Amino acid sequence: ALAFAHSRGIVHRDVKPDNVMVGEFGEVYLLDWGIAARVGTVPSSICGTPVYMAPEMLSPGGPPLDARTDVYLLAAPLHECLVGAPPHRGTTLETVLFSIARAEPHPYGDDVPPDLVEVLHRAMAPTVDGRPPSMAAFRELLTEHLGHRSAAALATSARTRLEQLEDLVRVKP
């Protein structure tokens, strides 16, 4: 949906879990296009959901919005799936806004594969220049991770079988 919107010159600006719905047959819908804007729009005010916002969304008169803003916003719910919380947290709006402005890479736990951490850090880079340039590029990075995940699972399975065989060889008759 975002790649299509970008091809038509539109940036969503409010991608978050509440705006993503999955239908009965697995179809995915992106809802609430109320603050969508034209690609190239220079923000004139702060809008969006703060706990998911990209840093450039804080800067009225700042860099023009483009697909890379939505790349950040799409990575934010993935981040939340992995850690159980949105990327920007705080007890007050001021502390959340400060978190957005700092835009520090999140330290993920050992349970998150290093290549997925790299994908998230790229997609949520503090500046738009550090992010994948399009949804297609972001999707490609995620697809590569999924391919690596399959290879890692196969390697783990092979290690387990090898250990079982070694145990059998060590057993005395």
**Residue bearing tokens 């790299």:** 118
Candidate list 14, 32, 66, 111, residue with the active-site label: 14
Q: Tell me if residue 167 is catalytic.
A: no
Under a CB-based contact definition with an 8 Å cutoff, are residues 67 and 135 in contact?
yes
Both tokens assigned to 103: 């835009």
Other beta carbons within 10 angstroms of residue 120's beta carbon come to 23
CA separation (Å) from 76 to 86, 131, 160? 7, 13, 35
State the Rg of the chain over Cα: 20
Percent helix, strand and coil across the chain, each to the nearest 5: 55, 5, 40
Catalytic residue annotation: 14
